Chain A
Amino acid sequence: MLTRPDRSPRPDALPHAPGVGYKPQHFQHILEDAGSVEWLEIHAENYMGDGGRPLAQLRHLSQRFAISVHGVGLSIGGASPLDPDHLARLKHLTDWLNPASFSEHLAWSTHDSHFYNDLLPLPYTNATLARVCDHIDQVQGLLGRQMLLENPSSYLAFAESTWEEPAFLHEIAKRTGCGLLLDVNNVFVSATNLGYRPQDYIDAYPLDLVGEIHLGGHDEDEDDHGSPLLIDSHGAAVVDPVWALLDYTLARSGPKPTLVEWDTDVPDWVVLEAEAARAAAALNAVKMAA
């Protein structure tokens, strides 16, 4: 059993500064010179083994950096009950690590005991609202901490939806006391795909409940009618319109912990750090203006 990380030199909350999604190939670079990066995100499921290098690296990093644990497999938006084994693993991880933040997605990934390894969409109805709130109550009760819920990237809409997404998320936060995570790349992707102004989405989002902002890269495709179809890939640099949307958001929200995610075709550390530096500049501009 690994010893509990010594947390003394590390802040208890995420700083209002740039973070990046941690990739093991960057371990040495981060320890030698983290540059603008002040905190790290890990995907919870990658650290649910029993030991070995992943947990040893995490223990090491957690002594220097605030850690955000980001779940991708809880299936909070799913119709089935949450997997008790997975909840127990999550509890074990967060009790051991005591991270600065835990977050998950407004999405589902498990159905009939099968896990689909993607963030699948749900209709926004009163029934799904009640179900998501029950699941969040269960998670927050078990973990003994507030969680943040992230807005998804959308490629389609459900005919049966009766709620707009920002209002749906706001209502979940009101009912459960959870915070929200605002992924501005997801907003840009969804707005492009479903034909609305991303700024309107930001204007409707309860920014005072946002505990963390995400940025990432996307791919470009087309739908059947030749309309742009953006795909949230986390496999490229953040595009200029998304940086502009970050500025628009920060101008209204004030500085927030801001994360750059790059999960596929992971670049060299210097490239990822440059993205974090750009986020630092956006945050500094807002801090100066205040």
Chain B
Amino acid sequence: MSREDQFTRAILDARLPVPEGLLDGADQPAGRRFSVYRNNVAVSLTEALHQGFPVITKLLGPENMDGLAALYLRAQPPTSPLMMQYGEGFPDFLEGLEQLSHLGYLGDVARLELALRRSYHAADAPPLDTLHLGTLPPDELMASRLSFAPAMAVLRSPWPIHAIWAYNTHPDAPKPVARAEDVLITRPEFDPIPQPLPPGGADWIARLQAGETLGSATEAVTSDFPDFDLSAPLALLIEGLALTDLSQ
């Protein structure tokens, strides 16, 4: 077994003995000096998970999160030196834990936190000048296709993930009520903003992202959601500077 095999196995599993041939300054076995590395790895990655999932940490409590971070590290050690990407498998990991199965919303709340982090680091894109949108003839507008900023994202959930997120990040937010919620993330400047989408809004944006015209997407969504009004999600996209181009 190579030195690196020995090291990494013993780092991840504290029950394993300290590798042979590691010494202190007096040529005695290194003993608990090796724990410095075990500790550095565990503490730094636990901290990264706390920072990346503050709402999950609040929901579960910091000590439970520490325990989960240790389990997660052993199940899925990071595969990238970019800590901004650490935890991409954490939502699925949470959903796979039997002891948390009564908290069905955890995975989707973690997905929302992950999407906010991705949005924060997403590429910049000059926004579409939307002032002239209102002056376009309706036919022309409905025949148009939209392009979206890389920092824009949509999440769909059978759980009230936006309400849960807001309740745990804003002191005045109302208590969540049980319902499905779709969430739009936009990043008007540097801080991503999640907002609930009206029914049909997520489907409408997905169709636009797939290249459908405004008219075609709106017609399709209206057949499923008769009350759908494109002005509400369109306003969220415009205010969030999430549109980058409009083409015929």
Contact = CB atoms under 8 A, between A and B. Distances in A.
Nearest to B76: A114
Contact of A49 (B45, B80, B84): B84
B37 interface: yes
Nearest to B29: A224
A156 to B, nearest CB: 4
Interface stretch (B19-27, B100-108, B127-135, B240-248): B19-27
Contacts of A118: 37, 40-41, 44
B8 interface: yes
Interface residues of A, number: 53
Interface string B36-52: 11001100110010000
A155 B26 contact: no
A151 interface: no
Interface string B9-20: 001000000001
Given A156-B33, A223-B32, A1 B23 contact: no
Interface in A199-246: 221, 223-225, 227, 229, 231
22 contacts: A2-B124, A46-B84, A51-B124, A52-B120, A52-B122, A53-B120, A54-B121, A55-B124, A56-B190, A79-B4, A108-B4, A111-B4, A111-B7, A112-B4, A112-B5, A117-B41, A155-B37, A159-B22, A193-B25, A223-B33, A224-B33, A229-B33
Interface of B: 2-5, 7-8, 11, 20-26, 28, 30-34, 36-37, 40-41, 44-45, 48, 77-84, 120-124, 150-151, 187, 190-191
Interface of A: 1-2, 45-46, 48-56, 72-75, 78-79, 83, 86, 89, 108-118, 120, 122-123, 155-160, 193-196, 221, 223-225, 227, 229, 231
